[in-house]
Amino acid sequence: MKISELEPEKLEQAANMLKAIAHPMRIAILGYLDDGKKLTVTEIHELLNIEQSTTSHHLGILKDKGVLQSKREGKNTYYFLKHCSLSNIVDCISNCTHG
Amino acid sequence: MKISELEPEKLEQAANMLKAIAHPMRIAILGYLDDGKKLTVTEIHELLNIEQSTTSHHLGILKDKGVLQSKREGKNTYYFLKHCSLSNIVDCISNCTHG
DNA sequence: CGAATATATTTATATATTTGCATAGTTATT
DNA sequence: AATAACTATGCAAATATATAAATATATTCG
């Protein structure tokens, strides 16, 4: 019962991170960002076939909630996982999904 | 990149499971239900100090999305994890949380 | 500087979630 | 059958989230 030191702030932050992840497109984004991979906004928007602004929006949410980090290099902004272990969440949920 | 066979249905279901978990009270509930523990609605509503009906709502959401299972025994309904590995998600998110 | 490329923000509308209260359904006991 | 204990459901108001379109900001290069 690790998290259940039940400090409300920690629960709140954990919920916010999970809420950030809990979206089909954002799960797909995390799927592409395993193994320390770094991708640009354009690469992601082309991979997912969604609008650039929508992609940026999703990435912004993931970054804001501490799931992703970004690093600008010239015109591009590369996004990548803040904690590698976050891939486990996608793996785990994927295993628990019967599809 | 396990989940990114990117079948939309699977992404959708994964998102729904995560969305179910992504709430402070529901994370706390999962925190109490590690190690195959089974708790009743009343036990949970007393542990969390929230309304009985609110508790039942949260449990219903978790059950509906495939995170929990329930089993009635007399007057009580016991709730417990459907897949033990789901505790990993709470552990993981808890580790990634600086608090 | 001006044009082109890449990314971010804003805005508005539609949709979904949370919560408590009241109520109703279930089961055990007397 | 009546009561008590436990759980579930329907409703409504407040709040939060999603989506797309338009616009704005940054960076590079000629």
Backbone phi and psi for residue B69, each to the nearest 5 degrees, phi listed first: -125, 160
User: Residue A21 and residue B24: Cβ atoms within 8 Å?
Assistant: no
pLDDT at position B98 is: 77
DSSP type of residue B67: S
- Its pTM stands at 0.93
Instruction: Encode B82-97: b = buried (16+ Cβ within 10 Å), e = exposed.
Output: bbeebbbbbbbbbebb
pLDDT at position A84 is: 93
Helix/strand/coil for B72: strand
User: Residue B13 and residue A82: Cβ atoms within 8 Å?
Assistant: no
pLDDT in tens, A55-97: 999 999 999 999 999 999 999 999 999 999 999 999 999 999 8
**What residues have CB less than 8 Å from B18, skipping those under 6 apart?**
A18, A21, A22, A27, A89, A93, B89
Mean pLDDT value of segment A49-60: 92
Percent of chain A with pLDDT over 90: 78
Helix/strand/coil for A73: strand
Does strand D come within 7 Å of the CB of A61?
yes
The domain spans of chain B are 8-92
Q: Scan for tokens 């272990």, then name that residue.
A: A85
Percent of chain B with pLDDT over 90: 86
Q: For B8-92, give the CATH class.
A: mainly alpha
